A = this chain, B = another copy of it.
Amino acid sequence: MAAIKVGVLGAKGKVGRTICEAVAEAADLELVARVDAGDDPRALVDAGAEVAVDFTQPDAVMGNLEFLISHGISAVVGTTGFTAERLDRVRGWLEEHAAAGANVLIAPNFAISAVLTMRFAEIAAPFFESAEVIEMHHPHKKDAPSGTAVHTAEGIARARREAGLDAQPDATEQALDGARGAAVEGVPVHAVRMTGAVAHETVILGTEGQSLTIKQDSYDRTSFVPGVLTGVRRIAEHPGLTVGLESYLGL
């Protein structure tokens, strides 16, 4: 099987360099173009790139996507800042240039372990009376809880509502302020800040006589790599726009 030809946008950034290395090392992928701010994106076309990876900036990514889609190059995008309106514009370009054959994957989180944790928590939630989320990060983090933890709690809350579950049992009468965490749609979320930690999320679910714990540890900044490569490898099978890595993971 011929290797998939891959170009990288934002190739000189920290994330971009890591992706370039990972693509170069993968036997089934071929790194054909590195493009950075100021470079002409036509280099991707000239090199015959089939898929481009975009970890750039919110002010650059829409221009990149219009170029890629119109030239039939599929895009795996980790750049942030996608609003509903932006997603609609991407869908419009995909329709307009449907004949060119590009697909697009836009995901807020490429850490496979984090995406699976969120999805498993949703699947399991209807079968457990209680569910709480504990996230742990380094102490330089500015927000608490993390966006991923909030998103996880929202998914659990939605799954509980759809299954018709009651509110979580909690007989607490006397509590110190904050002891029971932040309630995100009724799901308690606790944020730990710890020197030495990187990014970690734990979901605990409990019902009679048992509990289920799903835990995700990101040990370093390369944890997005396996998810990006999965995206590159599978984008040909996912027509149009896909938001979130979940469906690429068979979930």
Contact = CB atoms under 8 A, between A and B. Distances in A.
B190 A209 contact: no
Contacts of A206: 194-197
Nearest to A193: B170
Q: How large is the interface on A (under 10, 10 to 19, 20 to 34, 35 or more residues)?
A: 35 or more
Contact of A134 (B130, B182, B190, B225): B190
Interface string A207-232: 11111111111111111111000100
A14 interface: no
Interface stretch (A63-71, A85-93, A136-144): A136-144
B211 A214 contact: no
A132 interface: yes
A101 interface: no
A194 B184 contact: no
Residue of A194, A198, A223, A230 ringed by the most chain B CB atoms within 10 A = A194
A114 B213 CA distance: 11
A204 B178 CA distance: 18
Contacts of A144: 172, 174-176, 179-180
Contacts of A198: 219
Given A132-B193, A210-B226, 18 more contacts: A113-B205, A113-B212, A116-B120, A116-B123, A116-B127, A126-B250, A134-B134, A139-B170, A144-B179, A145-B175, A169-B193, A169-B195, A176-B184, A194-B204, A208-B222, A208-B225, A209-B220, A211-B219
Interface of A: 22, 111-114, 116-117, 120, 123-124, 126-130, 132, 134, 136, 139-145, 150, 168-184, 188-198, 204-226, 230, 249-251
